[in-house]
Structures are given as C-alpha cells and as structure tokens.
C-alpha cells in the first residue's frame, strides 16, 4: 500500500505520491510544514526526488539581485531561479 502524503515536504515525497514527471510542485517546508513553497522537482534522473535550488538558463536579462533577494529567493521555479537562503536552511534542517 502506498502512503499518500497530502503535504509533501520535499521532492522525494512528491515522487512517493506518484508524481513522476519533472515540473513545479508545491512542497511544505519548515517546522510542521508551515511554509508553502514552489519547488522544481527532477523526477526523471538518478531515480527522481531531486529538488532544484538554483537554475540559470540565460534566457532572461540578468538583473543584479540585492542581498535581501538572496535571502528571500527570486525568479520562477521553472525558469531562472534561486530558492533563497531562508528556504534553503529550512529544507536542509533535520
């Protein structure tokens, strides 16, 4: 029996829920999944479950982000993207 996680905390849990295509999914990070965040999940390589935290496609003009942008994150999860230091800390906590 497959356990469906209604509030996946990472791309591995998204994959376990049966979503096996690369794309943007909503994950819930932080203490008790309190922060809703978009995540681009790579499900077609290396067994799947990989979350993209930074991506630069060079398709959009480069704008120098401010330090606050690096903390909050910027861009779109399916394009040029930086997850943000605040969210990165939350997804890497055990």
Q: Which pLDDT belongs to residue 64?
A: 79
Look at residue 46 and give its three-state secondary structure: coil
Q: Which two tokens stand for residue 65?
A: 């982000």
pTM of the predicted protein model: 0.79
The 10s digit of each residue's pLDDT in 47-58 is 999 999 998 877
Q: Residue 4 — very low, low, confident or very high, per pLDDT cuts 50/70/90?
A: low
Residue 1, pLDDT > 50, answer no
Domain boundaries, the chain: 11-92
CATH code of 11-92, in short, is 3.90.215.10
Q: Where are the alpha helices (DSSP H) in 1-94?
A: 11-16, 67-72, 85-92
Q: Residue 25 — very low, low, confident or very high, per pLDDT cuts 50/70/90?
A: very high
Q: Which residue has the tokens 């993209």?
A: 52
């Amino acid at each position: 029996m497959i356990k469906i996680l209604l509030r996946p905390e990472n791309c591995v849990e998204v994959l376990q829920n049966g979503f096996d295509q690369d794309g943007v999914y909503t994950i819930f990070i932080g203490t008790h999944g309190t922060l809703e965040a978009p995540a681009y999940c790579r499900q077609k390589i290396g067994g799947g479950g990989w979350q993209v935290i930074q991506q630069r496609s060079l398709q959009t003009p480069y704008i120098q982000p401010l330090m606050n942008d690096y903390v909050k994150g910027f861009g779109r999860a399916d394009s040029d993207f930086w997850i943000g230091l605040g969210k990165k800390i939350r997804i890497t906590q055990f």
